[in-house]
Amino acid sequence: MLTGGDREEISRGIAEGVDQAVIAERIERNPSVVSREIRRHGGRAHYRAQVAVRRATSARARPKIRKLDTDPVLREVVTTKLREGCSPDQVAGRLRHERPGQQAWQVSHEAIYTWIYALPTGELARQGIWLRSGRSQRRSRGRARSSGARIVGMRSIEQRPAEVADRRVPGHWEGDLVVGKGGKTAMATLVERTSRYTCCVALPDGRHDATTTHDALLSKINDMPSHLLTSLTWDQGSEMARHAALSLAADVDIYFAHPHSPWERGTNENTNRLLREYFPKATDITDHQSYLDTMAEELNNRPRRILDYRTPAEVFTELLTSSLASTD
């Protein structure tokens, strides 16, 4: 929920003429929150912080009837999808995708969250519903910083071709480690930037030294379609110390993000957050590749808002088919 101070900062940002994304960063909110706030209260030309505060306070004071409480059929469809592991956003988006124009079947992700958070304690568990965050109520967001280590001979992300940034050209991947309890186990993850298709790579006995990581990644890359593997962007973790050997053996360009800059590999960071549903922090990570493949398959068959609620598997298959056709 936006505070009065947040709204004052939004008003100042509008007066300065800065983008909504910059305003969102200042108040540590999602840009979509700022966009809705401005649109709801008169647009950039008429937004006033104090007016927005009064309207928001008045709106919160009015009792609201939740759509999911009044429509048992819709509620059952939503809860079924939640039990299948979909997020509220994915549920809302998939309903729009499956039933376009049918207002009775439309419900926003925010309405689903509101309904969930209003349930009595223990009701989520009783219905077999769980949020991927593991929370049953909202909490404010904080910022985390990731460690970085200098890699000899690395190529900076600044040297990466411009075509990678806009995602229109497939075949560019991001990679990282997901580390288990006490740093004793880990797996590698690879995510294709255009389709968000994910591969999980087992590391023998959870070892994530440079040699083990190199060997595991090379084995996985050799099984992947070479025409959809052009570049790989990683952070500056020491596990990639043998990046030059991997680049040569796999014929793939490897680039490194700046230290403390997880947004430069945002696709992979978001994917690793989803994978934490299966391996919460402070738990061990298996080195059984078959289990990791099953987990990745589940993730690749979840609809994504960024893909217009298609699944990464659907989009990756389209890319694979179209690229093969273009080479015939």
Q: What is the pLDDT of residues 58-108, one digit of tens each?
A: 777 666 678 888 899 999 999 898 888 888 899 999 999 998 889 889 999
For the chain, give every domain's residue range. Answer: 4-60, 67-127, 157-326
Model pTM score: 0.58
pLDDT on residue 208: 93
Between 219 and 322, the higher pLDDT residue: 219
182-193 confidence digits (pLDDT tens): 899 999 999 999
pLDDT > 50? residue 176: yes
Q: Is 192 left (phi over 0), alpha (psi -120 to 50) or beta?
A: beta
What residue spans of 181-288 are helical by DSSP H?
210-222, 243-250, 266-275
Q: pLDDT grade, residue 57 (50/70/90)? A: confident
12-30 confidence digits (pLDDT tens): 999 989 898 999 988 988 8
Calculate the average pLDDT of the chain.
Answer: 87
What number is the average pLDDT over the span 223-236?
92
Which range among 105-109, 138-142, 214-218 has the greatest average pLDDT? 214-218
Q: Give residues with Cβ within 8 angstroms of 115, minimum separation 6.
A: 66, 68, 69
Nearest to 151 by CA among 245, 257, 237: 237
pLDDT on residue 221: 94
The b/e string for 144-175 (b: 16+ C-beta within 10 A; e otherwise) is eeeebeebeebbebeebeeebeeeeebbbbbb
pLDDT > 60? residue 149: no
Pairing verdict, β 198-202 and 186-192: antiparallel
- Rounded CA-CA distance 240/294 in Å is 26
Q: pLDDT grade, residue 298 (50/70/90)? A: very high
pLDDT on residue 64: 66
> For residue 304, what are its two tokens?
């994504």
pLDDT on residue 63: 63
pLDDT > 90? residue 296: yes
Classify domain 157-326 by CATH number.
3.30.420.10
pLDDT on residue 66: 83
